[in-house]
Amino acid sequence: MEFQLKFGVFLALLSCFVSANAFSCVVPTQGKEFDNLIDIEWNKDESTFYIRFPPNADGQKFDNVTLGILKDEDSFAGTSAPLQTFPDNGKLLTYVRSFDDLNVGLNISVWWQGENDVCPIIGKVKLTKK
């Protein structure tokens, strides 16, 4: 009887664990479609990147935007806390000042995630001075 109770509890816990993982997000939704939603403007006089993007993507609301520092083409040296955003003609705006003496690559990731959505949508762009 005690074995059956322990086995029953084990099965209940196992089914909760498996069902939670089955509905969790393994890979976020991303790609060129969402990368293209992000506009970058380089202001040489201010040494500042202005980043604009819509508050919604594919039905999900804006969640946060982070600045990634690239060690080389494919690996991150670090990521920032979410950057502050401001409303700007129906879009959201954030900015990043660039310092030439740092000699690092900069990357922006914009995250959209609805309240009840498990998987975020992520748009990424590299900040390059044009």
Provide the whole-model pTM.
0.73
| 51: three-class secondary structure by DSSP | strand
Backbone angles phi, psi at 18, to 5 degrees: -65, -45
**pLDDT value at residue 2:** 62
Question: Which residue ranges of the chain lie beneath pLDDT 70?
Answer: 1-27, 71-77, 100-103
pLDDT at 24: 57
pLDDT at 118: 79
- Spatial separation of the C-alpha atoms in residues 32 and 24, rounded to whole Å: 23
Query: Would you call 130 helix, strand, or coil by DSSP?
Result: coil
SS (H, E, C) 68-128: EEECCCCCEEEECCCCCCEEECCEEEEEEECCHHHCCEEEEEEEECCCCCCCCEEEEEEEC
